[in-house]
Chains A and B, each alone.
Chain A
Amino acid sequence: MMCLNQGTLQAQNRYASSDNLSGYVHWIDLYDANNTRIDPSVESPPPYSPEKTCGRCHAFDVISHGWHFNAVDREANHGRPGQPWLWSDERTGTHLPLSYRGWPGTHHPDDLGLTRWQVAAKLGGYLPGGGVGSLESLATSTGVDSEATGDAAEDETSTEEPTHEVVDRTSVTGPLPVDCMLCHRNRGSGYSPFVWTEQIENENFAYAPTAALGLATVTGNISRLKDDFDPTDPASQDKMPKVVYEQAKFRSDGKVFFDLVRKPKNDACYYCHSNQPAEAVLGQRWHHDEDVHFRAGLACADCHRNGIDHHTVRGFDGEQHPAGSLAASLSCQGCHMGTDTNGQHVPVPGRFGAPRPAHRGLPPLHFDKLTCTACHSGPLPSSQAQRQVNSILHKLGEHIKRTGEEQPGIVASVQLPLTVPNLSNDHESGAEKDDHLATGKYAPHRLMWPSFWAVLRDGQVEIPPPESVYDMIRKPLKVRRDFTEELASVRLPLSTRKELLGEDRYRVRDDDRTEEEQAKIAAAEATLRTEQVNERMAEALAELEAQYPGTQAVYVSGGQGFVRKGEAEIELLDADNLASSGLSDAIKPYAWPIAHNVRPARQSLGATGCLECHSDGSLFFNTEIQPVGLLPDQTTVAVKTHELQQADMLRLGNWNQLFAGRSLFKILGLVALALTGLVTLSAIAWNFGSWWRGGP
Chain B
Amino acid sequence: MMLADLTLTHAPVTPWLVSVGVTAAIVLGLVGMFAFATNRRIRDSATRGWLSRLCYAVFLTSVGVLAISSFGSLLQFGHMSGYALLAHVAAAGAFVFLLLVVAVLYLPWGGSVATDENTAAVGDQRWWFARWTAWLLVISSLLTAGSMFLSMLPILDTAGLHEAVAVHRWTGLVVVVSALFHLFAISCTRLGWR
Residues of A near any B CB (own CB < 8 A): 337, 339, 356-365, 367-369, 440, 648, 651, 654-655, 658, 665-666, 668-670, 672-673, 675-677, 679-693, 695-696
Most buried by A among B110, B141, B148: B110
By a CB distance below 8 angstroms, the chain A residues around B111 are 686, 689-690, 693, 695-696
Q: Mark B144-160, 1 if CB is under 8 A from A, else 0.
A: 01101101111111110
A666–B81 touching, CB < 8 Å: no
B17 close to A (CB within 8 Å)? no
By a CB distance below 8 angstroms, the chain B residues around A680 are 103, 107, 138-139, 142
> Which residue from A360, A367, A368, A676 sits with its C-beta under 8 Å from B156?
A360
B31–A682 touching, CB < 8 Å: yes
Q: Which of B49-57, B91-99, B181-189 contacts A (4 or more CB under 8 A)?
A: B91-99
By a CB distance below 8 angstroms, the chain B residues around A684 are 28, 31-32
A676–B142 touching, CB < 8 Å: yes
By a CB distance below 8 angstroms, the chain B residues around A368 are 79-81
By a CB distance below 8 angstroms, the chain B residues around A689 are 32, 35-36, 39, 110-111
CB contact under 8 A between A695 and B81, given known A356-B159, A364-B161, A669-B149: no
B100–A679 touching, CB < 8 Å: yes
By a CB distance below 8 angstroms, the chain A residues around B146 are 673, 677
Chain B nearest CB, measured from A654 CB (Å): 6
CB contact under 8 A between A360 and B157, given known A673-B146, A676-B99, A680-B138: yes
Chain A nearest CB, measured from B119 CB (Å): 15
Q: Mark B51-83, 1 if CB is under 8 A from A, else 0.
A: 000000000000000000000000001011111
CB contact under 8 A between A693 and B96, given known A356-B159, A679-B103: no
Q: Mark B25-39, 1 if CB is under 8 A from A, else 0.
A: 001100110111001
What is the chain A residue whose CB lies nearest that of B89?
Answer: A658
Q: How far is the CA of A221 from the CA of B30 in the complex (A)?
A: 92
What is the chain A residue whose CB lies nearest that of B9?
Answer: A339
- Chain B's interface: helix, strand, loop or mixed, by majority? helix
Q: How far is the CA of A664 from the CA of B5 in the complex (A)?
A: 34
> Which residue from A356, A369, A692 sits with its C-beta under 8 Å from B157?
A356
CB contact under 8 A between A685 and B32, given known A369-B81, A673-B146: yes
Most buried by A among B42, B82, B107: B107
A683–B35 touching, CB < 8 Å: no
B82–A359 touching, CB < 8 Å: no
By a CB distance below 8 angstroms, the chain A residues around B100 are 672, 675-676, 679
B149–A359 touching, CB < 8 Å: no
A364–B36 touching, CB < 8 Å: no
Q: A358-B158, A675-B100 are in contact. List 8 more A-B contacts (CB 8 A).
A: A357-B158, A360-B157, A440-B79, A676-B99, A676-B141, A686-B42, A689-B35, A692-B36
Q: How far is the CA of A367 from the CA of B159 in the complex (A)?
A: 12
CB contact under 8 A between A358 and B153, given known A680-B103, A680-B139: no
By a CB distance below 8 angstroms, the chain B residues around A362 are 151, 161
B104 close to A (CB within 8 Å)? yes
What is the chain A residue whose CB lies nearest that of B5?
Answer: A343
B159–A693 touching, CB < 8 Å: no
Chain A nearest CB, measured from B64 CB (Å): 20
Q: How far is the CA of A364 from the CA of B93 in the complex (A)?
A: 18
Q: How far is the CA of A670 from the CA of B153 in the complex (A)?
A: 10
Chain B nearest CB, measured from A340 CB (Å): 12
What is the chain A residue whose CB lies nearest that of B148?
Answer: A363
By a CB distance below 8 angstroms, the chain A residues around B42 are 686
By a CB distance below 8 angstroms, the chain B residues around A648 are 82
Q: How far is the CA of A438 from the CA of B114 in the complex (A)?
A: 60
B86–A681 touching, CB < 8 Å: no
B172 close to A (CB within 8 Å)? no
B130 close to A (CB within 8 Å)? no
> Which residue from B81, B89, B97, B159 sits with its C-beta under 8 Å from A440?
B81
What is the chain A residue whose CB lies nearest that of B82?
Answer: A651
A693–B39 touching, CB < 8 Å: yes
B179 close to A (CB within 8 Å)? no
A-B pairs, top 7 by smallest CB distance, nearest first, are A690-B110, A689-B35, A685-B31, A687-B110, A360-B154, A690-B111, A361-B154
By a CB distance below 8 angstroms, the chain B residues around A687 are 108-110
Would you list which residues of chain B between 167 and 188 have a CB under 8 Å from chain A?
Answer: none
By a CB distance below 8 angstroms, the chain B residues around A339 are 9
Q: How far is the CA of A364 from the CA of B149 in the complex (A)?
A: 11
Chain B nearest CB, measured from A207 CB (Å): 53
Q: How far is the CA of A358 from the CA of B151 in the complex (A)?
A: 11
Q: How far is the CA of A510 from the CA of B80 in the complex (A)?
A: 64
CB contact under 8 A between A673 and B149, given known A364-B162, A680-B103: yes
By a CB distance below 8 angstroms, the chain A residues around B148 are 363
A651–B83 touching, CB < 8 Å: yes
B32–A359 touching, CB < 8 Å: no
By a CB distance below 8 angstroms, the chain B residues around A440 are 77, 79, 81
What is the chain A residue whose CB lies nearest that of B102?
Answer: A676
Chain A nearest CB, measured from B122 CB (Å): 12
Q: How far is the CA of A501 from the CA of B184 in the complex (A)?
A: 94
Q: How far is the CA of A54 from the CA of B34 in the complex (A)?
A: 84
A356–B158 touching, CB < 8 Å: yes
A359–B142 touching, CB < 8 Å: no
B27–A681 touching, CB < 8 Å: yes
Q: How far is the CA of A668 from the CA of B141 in the complex (A)?
A: 17
Chain A nearest CB, measured from B129 CB (Å): 16
Q: How far is the CA of A150 from the CA of B24 in the complex (A)?
A: 76
Q: How far is the CA of A654 from the CA of B155 in the complex (A)?
A: 28
By a CB distance below 8 angstroms, the chain A residues around B90 are 658
Most buried by B among A358, A651, A689: A689
> Which residue from A361, A668, A672 sits with its C-beta under 8 Å from B152?
A361
Chain A nearest CB, measured from B73 CB (Å): 11
Chain B nearest CB, measured from A359 CB (Å): 5
Q: How far is the CA of A318 from the CA of B90 in the complex (A)?
A: 33
What is the chain A residue whose CB lies nearest that of B151?
Answer: A363
Q: How far is the CA of A648 from the CA of B165 in the complex (A)?
A: 26
Q: How far is the CA of A665 from the CA of B149 in the complex (A)?
A: 10
Chain B nearest CB, measured from A642 CB (Å): 14
CB contact under 8 A between A685 and B34, given known A363-B151, A440-B81, A690-B110: yes
Q: How far is the CA of A673 from the CA of B98 in the complex (A)?
A: 10
B31–A681 touching, CB < 8 Å: yes
Most buried by B among A359, A367, A369, A654: A359
Chain B nearest CB, measured from A566 CB (Å): 48
CB contact under 8 A between A686 and B99, given known A337-B158, A364-B151, A679-B104: no
A669–B96 touching, CB < 8 Å: yes
By a CB distance below 8 angstroms, the chain A residues around B142 are 673, 676-677, 680
A359–B79 touching, CB < 8 Å: no
- In the assembled complex, 20 residue pairs joining A and B whose CB atoms fall closer than 8 Å, in A order, are A360-B154, A360-B156, A363-B151, A364-B161, A368-B80, A369-B79, A654-B86, A658-B90, A665-B93, A669-B93, A669-B145, A672-B99, A673-B145, A676-B100, A681-B24, A686-B35, A689-B36, A689-B111, A690-B35, A695-B124
B152–A683 touching, CB < 8 Å: no
A696–B80 touching, CB < 8 Å: no
By a CB distance below 8 angstroms, the chain B residues around A668 are 97
B97–A672 touching, CB < 8 Å: yes
B85 close to A (CB within 8 Å)? yes
Q: How far is the CA of A339 from the CA of B159 in the complex (A)?
A: 10
Chain B nearest CB, measured from A437 CB (Å): 12
B36–A683 touching, CB < 8 Å: no
B86–A655 touching, CB < 8 Å: yes
By a CB distance below 8 angstroms, the chain A residues around B124 are 695-696
What is the chain B residue whose CB lies nearest that of A661?
Answer: B93
Q: How far is the CA of A690 from the CA of B153 in the complex (A)?
A: 37
What is the chain A residue whose CB lies nearest that of B32?
Answer: A685
By a CB distance below 8 angstroms, the chain A residues around B162 are 364, 367
What is the chain B residue whose CB lies nearest that of A682?
Answer: B31
Q: How far is the CA of A693 from the CA of B36 in the complex (A)?
A: 8
A651–B86 touching, CB < 8 Å: yes
By a CB distance below 8 angstroms, the chain B residues around A696 are 110-111, 124
Chain B nearest CB, measured from A599 CB (Å): 18
